[in-house]
Amino acid sequence: MDTVLFLACTEADGSLGRPALEALGSIRPRHVGLIGRNVCCAANQVASCGAVRFLGASGDEFAQSRYSTDCAAAEAIARASGATIIVAPGTSRLSRMLPGLAHRLGGVIDTHVTAIGSDFSVTRWYYRQRMEAVLARTARPWIIVADGGSAWSGAPGAVTVEPVAVEMPSLRTTVTGIRTPETGVQTIRPDARLLFVAGAGWTKKQQDGQSHVRDAEGLILGFLGRTQASLGGSKSLVDLSGEGEAVLPFMTHLNQIGQTGATPRHPKGLSTCCHGEEPHVVGWRFVTERRAVNLDANCGWARGKADVVYVADAFAVMKKVNELLG
Ligand SMILES: Cc1cc2nc3c(=O)[nH]c(=O)nc-3n(C[C@H](O)[C@H](O)[C@H](O)COP(=O)(O)OP(=O)(O)OC[C@H]3O[C@@H](n4cnc5c(N)ncnc54)[C@H](O)[C@@H]3O)c2cc1C
Ligand 1 pocket at CB < 6 A: 199-201, 204, 206, 234-237, 256-261, 273-275, 277, 279-280, 283, 293-296, 299, 313-315
pLDDT of amino acid 34: 98
User: Omega into 141 within 30° of 0, i.e. cis?
Assistant: yes
Is the CB of residue 57 less than 8 Å from the CB of residue 73?
A: yes
pLDDT value at 81 more than 70: yes
pTM, whole model, 2 decimals? 0.76
CA neighbours closer than 13 Å in the CB half-sphere of residue 117? 11
Q: Read off the pLDDT of each residue in 297-322 and give the average, rounded to a whole number.
A: 97
Q: How many whole angstroms from its chain centre is CA 111? A: 13
User: CA 44 to CA 38: how far, in whole Å?
Assistant: 12
Ligand 1 midpoint to CA 305 (Å): 14
Q: What is the number of other CB atoms lying within 10 angstroms of the CB of residue 41?
A: 16
Any long-range contacts for 130-139 (C-beta under 8 Å, 24+ apart)? 130/282, 135/110, 137/108, 137/110, 139/107, 139/108
pLDDT value at 159 more than 60: yes
Is the CB of residue 95 less than 8 Å from the CB of residue 129?
A: no
Give per-residue pLDDT as tens, 23-64: 999 899 999 999 999 999 999 999 999 999 999 999 999 999
Closest by CA to 302, choosing from 248, 74, 293, is 293
Is the CB of residue 202 less than 8 Å from the CB of residue 232?
A: no
Ligand 1 midpoint to CA 262 (Å): 15
Going along the chain from its start, the domains and CATH numbers come out as 4-163 (3.40.50.620), 194-325 (3.40.50.1220)
pLDDT value at 183 more than 60: no
pLDDT of amino acid 174: 86
Taking all residues of the chain, what is their mean pLDDT, rounded to a whole number? Answer: 93
Give percent of the chain with pLDDT exceeding 90: 82
pLDDT of amino acid 125: 87
pLDDT of amino acid 131: 86
Ligand 1 midpoint to CA 266 (Å): 20
Ligand 1 midpoint to CA 31 (Å): 48
